[in-house]
Amino acid sequence: MTERYHAHREGYNAAGPFDKSQPAAPEPGYPPGEECAQCGGRCCKEHGCVLAPEDLLRALAGKEPDEESLLALFQDEKKGWYAIEYLSTPQGACFYVRMRHKCYTFIGVDAMGECVALGTGGCLLSMEERPRGGRMLKSSPDRRCVQHYTAEQMCADWQPYQELLGRIYRDWHARMTDDGTFDRCDEAYFAWLREKRTEPQ
Ligand code: SF4
Ligand code: SF4
């Protein structure tokens, strides 16, 4: 395997979720190391990168982040690569946005899963397009990769959006529980896992 996972595929220019006219990410972060190729993207298979609010604002392409614009983005078939999840803290729930997991929805009930942006040759996003949690993950040859976008920083960044994200999460969590969406996602996920296990390595 020659391509890196945490790295993006050189020359990849498909219509990802980001509006190319929006400003690039403010800091370059940590380029993936060669160890990412051998690793095969363990980080991307466990949890989607966490966004900072600036990443979400870029994805919204200048629209005000309100319930209408967020739902339009989350439910967009091509750009809806995101999910709301929350972290339990001593101060209560901290809602944030991360990359969505394959087979699941924009309400992150799936604690672990493979990121929708992980392709067969690695991350489909360029370094600039990648969410802050991906840019700030420093790979390490001993696989003790260090996340420099800390949970404390993330919660502080998302603080102004708690009411909005929490409202959408609670509302749609109830709807998706009632209409069986989460059950269907689980079924799709397990079918996908079975299919993956039978694929030639
Ligand atoms: S950052 Fe770490 S966990 Fe992620 S692909 Fe690279 S070596 Fe693997
Ligand atoms: S956005 Fe890219 S780097 Fe981040 S979890 Fe997804 S595949 Fe991995």
**DSSP assigned state of 94:** E
103-113: pLDDT as tens digits? 999 999 988 99
- On whether residue 151 sits in a domain, the answer given is yes
Which ranges of the chain would DSSP assign to H, the alpha helix?
Answer: 35-39, 42-46, 53-59, 67-74, 132-135, 151-158, 162-178, 181-198
Q: Which ligand is nearest to the CA of 133?
A: 2
- On whether residue 76 sits in a domain, the answer given is yes
Domain that holds residue 91: 35-193
Find where tokens 């901290």 sit: 94
Q: How confident is the model at residue 176 (pLDDT cuts 50, 70, 90)?
A: very high
Q: Which ligand is nearest to the CA of 43?
A: 1
Q: How confident is the model at residue 184 (pLDDT cuts 50, 70, 90)?
A: very high
Give distance in angstroms: CA of 82 to centre of ligand 1.
21
Give distance in angstroms: CA of 69 to centre of ligand 1.
33
Q: How far apart, in whole angstroms, are the C-alpha atoms of residue 90 and residue 169?
A: 20
- On whether residue 21 sits in a domain, the answer given is no
DSSP string, 138-173: EP-TTS--EE-S-HHHHHHHHGGGHHHHHHHHHHHH
Model confidence, pTM:
0.87
Q: Which ligand is nearest to the CA of 50?
A: 2
- On whether residue 6 sits in a domain, the answer given is no
120-173: pLDDT as tens digits? 889 999 988 999 999 999 999 998 999 999 999 999 999 999 999 999 999 999
28-71: pLDDT as tens digits? 789 888 999 889 899 999 999 999 999 999 999 988 899 999 99
Give distance in angstroms: CA of 135 to centre of ligand 2.
9
19-28: pLDDT as tens digits? 445 555 556 7
Q: How many domains does the chain have?
A: 1
Give distance in angstroms: CA of 36 to centre of ligand 1.
5
- On whether residue 198 sits in a domain, the answer given is no
For a pocket test of ligand 2, which of 47, 49, 128, 136 has the largest count of ligand atoms closer than 8 A to its C-beta?
49
- On whether residue 140 sits in a domain, the answer given is yes
Q: Are strands 92-99 and 118-119 parallel, antiparallel or unpaired?
A: unpaired
75-118: pLDDT as tens digits? 999 889 999 999 999 999 999 999 999 999 999 998 899 999 99
- On whether residue 104 sits in a domain, the answer given is yes
Q: How far apart, in whole angstroms, are the C-alpha atoms of residue 33 and residue 43?
A: 13
- On whether residue 182 sits in a domain, the answer given is yes
